[in-house]
Amino acid sequence: MRAVYDDIMATRKTDWINNFWKAIAHDSATLKRTWESIKQIMGPGALDPLTKELIYVAVSVANNCNYCIASHTASAVKKGMTREMFKELQAVIGMAAETNKLVTGYCVEIDKQFELPFGGTK
Amino acid sequence: MRAVYDDIMATRKTDWINNFWKAIAHDSATLKRTWESIKQIMGPGALDPLTKELIYVAVSVANNCNYCIASHTASAVKKGMTREMFKELQAVIGMAAETNKLVTGYCVEIDKQFELPFGGTK
Amino acid sequence: MRAVYDDIMATRKTDWINNFWKAIAHDSATLKRTWESIKQIMGPGALDPLTKELIYVAVSVANNCNYCIASHTASAVKKGMTREMFKELQAVIGMAAETNKLVTGYCVEIDKQFELPFGGTK
Amino acid sequence: MRAVYDDIMATRKTDWINNFWKAIAHDSATLKRTWESIKQIMGPGALDPLTKELIYVAVSVANNCNYCIASHTASAVKKGMTREMFKELQAVIGMAAETNKLVTGYCVEIDKQFELPFGGTK
Amino acid sequence: MRAVYDDIMATRKTDWINNFWKAIAHDSATLKRTWESIKQIMGPGALDPLTKELIYVAVSVANNCNYCIASHTASAVKKGMTREMFKELQAVIGMAAETNKLVTGYCVEIDKQFELPFGGTK
Amino acid sequence: MRAVYDDIMATRKTDWINNFWKAIAHDSATLKRTWESIKQIMGPGALDPLTKELIYVAVSVANNCNYCIASHTASAVKKGMTREMFKELQAVIGMAAETNKLVTGYCVEIDKQFELPFGGTK
């Protein structure tokens, strides 16, 4: 547990551990696995870290996780999210939720023109 | 309806209309309102159009809307999403979904250190 | 099972049984309990049967249940839902989904002025 | 912002603005777009305003939005929802949620007899 | 109402009634129907009562119902859930949520080899 | 990729790889991480493997993931799930979904008597 906490603080350049890690620390396998996965996934890659945080917030809003909204909004601000970006993020999330439901209620069939995403099998 | 269709094709530089618009075209008020909202929201701003598409896909995956996943994955590819970006997008969505549930199941309280996002009232 | 099927057909003035009932008929306790509950809940009361079907469709769209959307849209049409009503139903569902997410993303606190609904304990 | 607030108060015949509007007022484009959409959608039409509020509450319960449940339950009461109607509304929402899941878990196929809803493309 | 309360307390070998029952007691039909259904479903059968509580908690976490998480976690503890079992339960819930989303985002087609579950019609 | 595929087939005593793994194999980091996590989480522990599969199915039904329902129902059958167990599983999932919504719609406050689950911080 200590080693994971130290790595979290070193990686994030911070000196405190937020409640999420404390809660799951009761299960050391989950603590270690979750931290290693997040560290691997959220680091820089083809997408920059701020974009990843925006996506994380969007999923957390869609899934109604208030804790993750709070923690990842904070991370996004730390990585450069401005007030303008925040507003646009929320507008996109709301718009997507609305059209998701119009599509579902109107029973819209997927157009043949849309190709499968990378890796898709159907 | 014609005017909205023309604007969709002109804005998107395409010569076809996908099924979503055809389905809601039965309700001209919804067609017009939805197109104007999407046009306003998805255009360039503090967030670039590709980032907005990634967020749109993320919300659609979280909300299980297969049609919107197909259509906005296509839009994202058109705006520059590479295979690497797609993979990282999916990894972030999956990771967020997992921690959203760990937070919920473990009943994790929001840390005092997380400030309210812009505009929050609680 | 026979008795439940007969009651379904008599109550609905129809001579066929839709797949939902056939699927759960494998569990006679669930078949009986579900039919009796639906019969009790969907009958006329303070809300008329058509309004109840509209609510049923709305919940099924929100929950992404394509089967229930199909079956309860059919029931709603049978009970008088017009094309205009259908359009307005979908528009309300979409709008609610959008504001649900704006509220969540912006962390909006419940106003003191809103009293608890009937029966609420918090 | 002022103009939108005034229109909200005039339309609703009230002299206060609830937190939702204050929160999104930080984004004037979203404030204006959301209010105009809600005003257009929730007004009288083929469905009466009370029925629309019941549907709004149902979607908000399905989507777990406590704020919208509080605000639209209040609106519904103002537009005539009685305690009996409230009870029946909740019973329908609960029943729909249960059968939505039975259908999903049992993998029930949509019956050929159910025709596509108005506007459906599949 | 009295009879239902008495049966709840007798069945659960407890002398208090939790808020859920008090809230829905305003609707005696829903109170009676819900209690009878829960009593029938949660009793011993092919699955033991503890396993049923674990499943109930899992669904409540997936559906974000904090009240049901609290009440059914309490019931699970009463029926023998240990700290180790709780940890594994949460890990499975989180893992399932993650792969559910990977499947959705990657558009994975169901393998022909997977047979329909009991009762499935498609 | 080869090494992960071999381990999947060896662990599961099978000679084929289902579509899920093929789809995410395009992202070798996700393939490796996901398999290692699933292998760690789904193995025997305080909960037996069949109980874990039942929980996995329950979450997948709650989250509407048809692929995961198909694959984990198949796994559950392989690990001993009988038709009776399947029926009871579905009944519990449906019941939980219904009471989750009654709680939400009636705004039920968490009873003081319910203690925090293991690890909870609020």
Q: What average pLDDT does range F51-67 have in this prediction?
A: 98
Average per-residue pLDDT for chain E:
95
User: By the 8 A CB rule, do E117 and F39 touch?
Assistant: no
Q: Suggest the residue from E16, E24, E26 to mutate for an interface test with chain C (most C CBs closer than 10 A).
A: E26
pLDDT at residue B122 tops 70:
no
**pLDDT value at residue C1:** 87
pLDDT at residue B121 tops 90:
no
Tell me how close the Cα of E54 comes to any Cα of chain A, in angstroms: 18
The residue among C117 and F100 whose pLDDT is bigger is: F100
**pLDDT value at residue A122:** 64
**pLDDT value at residue C116:** 78
Residue F1 vs residues A33, A118, F8, F26: alpha-carbon distances, Å: 20, 17, 11, 9
Residues in chain F within 8 Å Cβ distance of A29: 40
Chain A CA closest to residue C105 = A61
pLDDT category, F13, cuts 50, 70, 90? very high
Say whether residue B63 is in contact with chain F using an 8 A CB cutoff: no
Q: What is the dihedral of CA F3, F9, F15, F17, to 10 degrees?
A: -80
Distance of CA C86 to the CA centre of its chain: 14
C-alpha–C-alpha distance, residues C113 and C111, integer Å: 5
pLDDT, one tens digit per residue, over F16-26 is 999 999 999 99
Q: Suggest the residue from A104, A106, A107 to mutate for an interface test with chain C (most C CBs closer than 10 A).
A: A104
Q: What is the dihedral of CA D3, D7, D8, D11, to 10 degrees?
A: 180
pLDDT at residue B117 tops 90:
no
**Residue ranges of chain E whose pLDDT lies below 70:** 122
The partner residue sitting opposite C109, judged by closest CB among B30, B63, B121, is B121
pLDDT, one tens digit per residue, over A61-96 is 999 999 999 999 999 999 999 999 999 999 999 999
**pLDDT value at residue D120:** 73
**pLDDT value at residue A1:** 87
pLDDT, one tens digit per residue, over D4-34 is 999 999 999 999 999 999 999 989 999 999 9
Q: Which amino acid is at B80?
A: G
Residues in chain B within 8 Å Cβ distance of E89: 105
**pLDDT value at residue A118:** 80
**pLDDT value at residue D83:** 95
**Contact between E119 and C19 using a beta-carbon 8 Å cutoff:** no
pLDDT, one tens digit per residue, over C2-53 is 999 999 999 999 999 999 999 999 899 999 999 999 999 999 999 999 999 9
Q: What is the dihedral of CA A61, A67, A71, A77, to 10 degrees?
A: 40
Chain A CA closest to residue E104 = A120
C-alpha–C-alpha distance, residues D87 and E27, integer Å: 6
Say whether residue D16 is in contact with chain B using an 8 A CB cutoff: no
State the chains in contact with E (3 or more Cβ–Cβ pairs under 8 Å). Answer: A, B, C, D, F
State the chains in contact with A (3 or more Cβ–Cβ pairs under 8 Å). Answer: B, C, D, E, F
pLDDT, one tens digit per residue, over A32-52 is 999 999 999 999 999 999 999
pLDDT at residue F97 tops 90:
yes
> Which letter, b or e, does each residue of B61-100 get, where b requires 16 or more Cβ atoms within 10 Å of its Cβ?
bbbbbbbbbbbbbbbbbeeebeeebbbbbbbbbbbbbbbb
C-alpha–C-alpha distance, residues D72 and D60, integer Å: 9
**pLDDT value at residue C120:** 73
**Contact between A106 and D121 using a beta-carbon 8 Å cutoff:** yes
C-alpha–C-alpha distance, residues E53 and F92, integer Å: 9
Residues in chain B within 8 Å Cβ distance of C62: none
User: By the 8 A CB rule, do F72 and F56 touch?
Assistant: yes
Cβ atoms < 10 Å from Cβ of F28:
12
**pLDDT value at residue C95:** 98
**pLDDT value at residue D117:** 72
Q: Suggest the residue from B83, B87, B111, B112 to mutate for an interface test with chain F (most F CBs closer than 10 A).
A: B87
Average per-residue pLDDT for chain C:
95
The residue among F1 and B85 whose pLDDT is bigger is: B85
C-alpha–C-alpha distance, residues C40 and C49, integer Å: 11
**Contact between E95 and B98 using a beta-carbon 8 Å cutoff:** yes
Residue B68 vs residues A100, B57, B60, C40: alpha-carbon distances, Å: 6, 7, 6, 37
**pLDDT value at residue D122:** 64
**pLDDT value at residue C92:** 98
> Which letter, b or e, does each residue of C73-91 get, where b requires 16 or more Cβ atoms within 10 Å of its Cβ?
bbbbbeeebeeebbbbbbb
Say whether residue C51 is in contact with chain A using an 8 A CB cutoff: no
Say whether residue A101 is in contact with chain F using an 8 A CB cutoff: no
Q: Which amino acid is at E107?
A: C
Rg (CA), chain A: 18
Share of chain B above pLDDT 70, in %: 98
> What is the Cβ-side half-sphere exposure of residue F54, based on CA atoms within 13 angstroms?
31
C-alpha–C-alpha distance, residues A66 and B109, integer Å: 9
**Contact between B26 and D121 using a beta-carbon 8 Å cutoff:** no
C-alpha–C-alpha distance, residues F111 and A57, integer Å: 30
**pLDDT value at residue F1:** 87
C-alpha–C-alpha distance, residues A42 and E90, integer Å: 22
Structure-token pair, residue F105: 């719609």
Tell me how close the Cα of E102 comes to any Cα of chain A, in angstroms: 11
The partner residue sitting opposite A61, judged by closest CB among C62, C69, C101, is C101
Chain C CA closest to residue E26 = C119
The partner residue sitting opposite D58, judged by closest CB among C55, C87, C113, is C55
- F52 φ, ψ (degrees, to nearest 5): -65, -40
Residue C87 vs residues A69, B121, C80, D46: alpha-carbon distances, Å: 33, 34, 14, 9
User: By the 8 A CB rule, do D66 and C110 touch?
Assistant: yes
Cβ atoms < 10 Å from Cβ of C60:
27
**pLDDT value at residue F122:** 65
The partner residue sitting opposite F105, judged by closest CB among D90, D99, D107, is D90
Say whether residue C122 is in contact with chain F using an 8 A CB cutoff: yes
Say whether residue C115 is in contact with chain D using an 8 A CB cutoff: yes
Question: Which residues 6+ apart lie within 8 Å of C86 measured at CB?
Answer: C73, C76, D117, D118, D119
Contacts 24+ apart (CB under 8 A), B37-44: B37/A95, B37/A98, B37/D33, B37/D37, B38/A95, B38/A99, B39/B7, B39/B11, B40/D29, B40/D33, B41/A88, B41/A91, B41/A92, B41/A95, B42/A92, B42/A95
The partner residue sitting opposite E104, judged by closest CB among B61, B102, B104, is B61
Place of tokens 């993931």: F65
> What is the Cβ-side half-sphere exposure of residue A46, based on CA atoms within 13 angstroms?
17
* Among candidate residues C68, A120, A118, D97, the one with its CA nearest the CA of residue E60: D97
> Which letter, b or e, does each residue of A73-112 get, where b requires 16 or more Cβ atoms within 10 Å of its Cβ?
bbbbbeeebeeebbbbbbbbbbbbbbbbbbbbbbbbbbbe
The partner residue sitting opposite A26, judged by closest CB among E87, E105, E107, is E87
pLDDT category, D98, cuts 50, 70, 90? very high
Residues in chain B within 8 Å Cβ distance of C105: 117
The partner residue sitting opposite B106, judged by closest CB among F27, F30, F119, is F119
Say whether residue F16 is in contact with chain A using an 8 A CB cutoff: no
pLDDT category, B118, cuts 50, 70, 90? confident
Share of chain F above pLDDT 70, in %: 98
**pLDDT value at residue B74:** 95
The partner residue sitting opposite A59, judged by closest CB among B51, B70, B96, is B96
Q: Is the dihedral of CA B10, B42, A64, B122 positive or negative?
A: negative
C-alpha–C-alpha distance, residues B64 and D63, integer Å: 13
Rg (CA), chain D: 18
C-alpha–C-alpha distance, residues E93 and B105, integer Å: 8
